[in-house]
Amino acid sequence: MEFDFLMLPGGVMNPDKLRNNSEAVAFVMSFVNKHRPIAAICHGVQTLIETGAVKGKRMTSWPSLKTDLMNAGAHWVDKDVVIDHKIITSRKPADIPAFNDAMIREFTYGRIHAHLPNTEGYVTTL
């Protein structure tokens, strides 16, 4: 079965279980390897950390994961939504409207702005 994009939910317990499940981590890694869009909100970034795909990426998350992302090589910023290449991250439930807008743009159109063919090499903070 093929999927076009992935959204990793937040919360505390589910992401913690996913990051400790080798099949879940491999599933997320398959999206990374295929350069497919991945969105993660709140603690959802934990599974991305396990893939090693956050190194060098500009990202945001629930504030308590700042150190985890930085230790994994990501550049953490405190913004409602951050998009780096095809990885969309958001901090918390209050950011859901901006997070949804970013996911819709990336997942539906495969690009952040109409004049860009895709997000390869493109980093933005909304």
CA distances from 37 to 54, 67, 118 (A): 13, 24, 10
Q: Which of 35, 43, 85, 113 is the catalytic position?
A: 43
CB 45, CB 69: distance < 8 Å: yes
Q: Which of 42, 75, 85, 113 is the catalytic position?
A: 42
**Whether 42 is catalytic:** yes
Residues tagged active-site:
42-43
